[in-house]
Amino acid sequence: MAEKSIADAIKSAVKDLTQLEVVTMVGPVSVKTNDTGKIVADIAPDTDTKAMVTRIDLIDGDIRNLVDPVFVTGDLQSVRDFHNEQVKKGNDIIVRNIEAVADLAKKIETLFP
């Protein structure tokens, strides 16, 4: 039974690793640390927040970008370059993570033939 649980956990991890979402927002923000020490940022409601969102499905190769015009033709064009660099870094991290999970799966498979 333990082998199935490990295999299911690996499959779930791989599925989670196949989606990348990068969100860049500019506006009033409140930054806090939650109970686990993770940094949490909240954008104030009813503000003039501008955002770019990139979603990449690494399995299908589908890439979707949502971009406020101010990042294309307005004062925030330089932030677009930052966002694009974060997308590239995120993609690189996911590729490395998928490789690590695949290597781990192969090692576990040898332990539970």
Tokens of 55: 């979603």
- Domain membership of residue 103 as a residue range: 2-111
**Tens digit of each residue's pLDDT (9 = 90 or more) over 54-79:** 998 877 888 999 999 999 888 888 89
Q: What digits encode the pLDDT tens for the residues 26-37? A: 887 777 888 887
Question: Do residues 39 and 32 make contact, with C-beta atoms less than 8 angstroms apart?
Answer: yes
**Is the pTM of the predicted complex or chain greater than 0.75?**
no
Q: How many domains does the chain have?
A: 1
User: If you ran DSSP here, which 8-state letter would residue 35 be given?
Assistant: T
- Edge-to-edge strands, sheet with 62-67: 19-26, 50-57, 62-67
Question: DSSP state, 46?
Answer: T
26-53 burial by CB neighbour count: b if 16+ within 10 A, else e? beeeeeeeeeeeeeeeeeeeeeeebbbe
Quickly state the pLDDT bin for 45 (edges 50, 70, 90).
Answer: low
Answer whether residue 1 shows pLDDT above 50: no
Nearest 5°: phi and psi at 82?
-60, -45
At residue 50, what are phi and psi to the nearest 5 degrees? Answer: -110, 145
Whether pLDDT at 93 is above 80: yes
| Type of residue numbered 51 | A
